[in-house]
Amino acid sequence: MDQNLITKSTNILLETGTNELEILEFFIDDAQAAQDSESRIYFGINVAKVMEVIEAPQLRERAHDRHPCFLGVMKLREHALPLIDLGVWLGMNRRVTNLDVVIVTEFSQAITGFMVTGVTEIHRVGWGDVAAPEGYLGHVAIGSLIGTVQRNGRIVQLLDLESVLADLDPAASAALSSSTVKSEIPYKILVADDSPTIRVMIEANLRSANLTTEVVGDGRSAMEKLLFYKEKCRKEGVPLSEYVDLLVSDIEMPRMDGFSLTKLVKEDDVLKELPVILYSSIITDELRHKGISVGADEQISKPELGKMAERALALLGGK
């Protein structure tokens, strides 16, 4: 693959509500299993987070004063960005070669370089084809995976890069888990997110504001829960707010993404009155436009998750 092929542009953003995404597939070779057919492990990340792929810079050996996976700071035009050995963070003994590459990403208002062995190609996949992680595959803990998808006869593991940054900067993650506001009413919030790391942060933030939370792992589970509450309210003759006051959803999730979930909610005669907050680490002007097009009431970037309770109460204030 041409390493300069990957650039951030609007042509990689798919039509809203199709429940699809494009992933960059890459691989890491394990030195300890060099003679093993399983020595090459394949991963994928959302192309929308990728700025470009470049050749790995020549680095001098240095003391790892922050984390064993931290290789130092590299320069990329006007940017100075941290360089992370993704294999080391994943607990692998990455086989170092002179063909290694760096995937430069931009998400959560940060530009980061991730050293890997190589990249293969870009795939368009449906979120419905992404299987929820059910255990350990290769060297990856389940908490670091969004899910898995099969392509070209191999399993591609979709990484939760937010968990990498959260692990490397726990103080920043802790700051997002508390709220400066308090609600006199314990509104009921349904949260949909596949990342255990982010779920814990959002739950802590909302609960610190005296809000009640219920958490599910993906958009389809959230829709099933809302339809259950809708039918329950119909039978009991009570409003939907008896069981849920607001929906908070990540955009990137297996089985059903946040855009598709919001579109279904806003097209339902009963559920359409439910306020919806979408959030993502890749909120851009283009992505905000897509959120507006499906009817999202509010959109938040993941670095702003500390304001989740505040934004929720602003939406619920008129109820």
pLDDT digits (tens, 9 = 90+) for 250-263: 988 888 889 999 99
Q: Note the CATH number of domain 170-316.
A: 3.40.50.2300
141 Cβ contact partners less than 8 Å away, ≥ 6 residues apart: none
Quick one: 10-167 is in which CATH superfamily? CheA-289, Domain 4 (2.40.50.180)
pLDDT of residue 6: 44
pLDDT at 14 over 60: no
The model's pLDDT over 264-292, given as tens digits with 9 standing for 90+, comes to: 999 999 999 999 999 987 766 667 888 99
Our measurement of the distance from residue 232's CA atom to the centroid of its chain's CA atoms, rounded to an integer in Å, reads 32
Task: Please state the rounded mean pLDDT for residues 70-92.
Answer: 87
pLDDT of residue 13: 41
Q: Average model confidence (pLDDT) for the chain?
A: 83
Instruction: Give me the percent of the chain exceeding a pLDDT of 90.
Output: 42
Q: Which residue has the higher pLDDT, 316 or 57?
A: 316
- Residue 89 CA to residue 278 CA, distance in Å, equals 29
What residues does CATH 2.40.50.180 cover in the chain?
10-167
pLDDT of residue 302: 76
pLDDT at 9 over 50: no
DSSP assigned state of 304: G
Task: Please state the rounded mean pLDDT for residues 108-125.
Answer: 90
**Which amino acid would we find at residue 121?**
E
- Residue 22 CA to residue 5 CA, distance in Å, equals 14
pLDDT at 135 over 60: no
pLDDT at 7 over 50: no
Helix %, strand %, coil % for the chain, to 5? 35, 30, 35
* Residue listed under structure tokens 């020549």: 58
pLDDT of residue 174: 60
Q: Given pLDDT bands bounded at 50, 70 and 90, which one contains residue 10?
A: very low
pTM of the model: 0.75
pLDDT of residue 2: 43
pLDDT of residue 77: 86
Tokens of 24: 């960059």
pLDDT at 36 over 80: no
The answer to whether 305 and 198 are in contact (CB under 8 A) is yes
Of residues 284, 283, 290, the one with CA closest to residue 20: 290
Task: Please state the rounded mean pLDDT for residues 133-137.
Answer: 55
What residues does CATH 3.40.50.2300 cover in the chain?
170-316
Beta bridge partners of 30: 94
Task: Please state the rounded mean pLDDT for residues 84-96.
Answer: 87
Beta bridge partners of 122: 24
Of residues 144, 90, 138, 143, the one with CA closest to residue 114: 90
Our measurement of the distance from residue 121's CA atom to the centroid of its chain's CA atoms, rounded to an integer in Å, reads 20
Beta bridge partners of 10: none
Q: Which residue has the higher pLDDT, 227 or 154?
A: 227
Helix (H) or strand (E) holding 261, with range, is: helix 258-267
Our measurement of the distance from residue 55's CA atom to the centroid of its chain's CA atoms, rounded to an integer in Å, reads 26
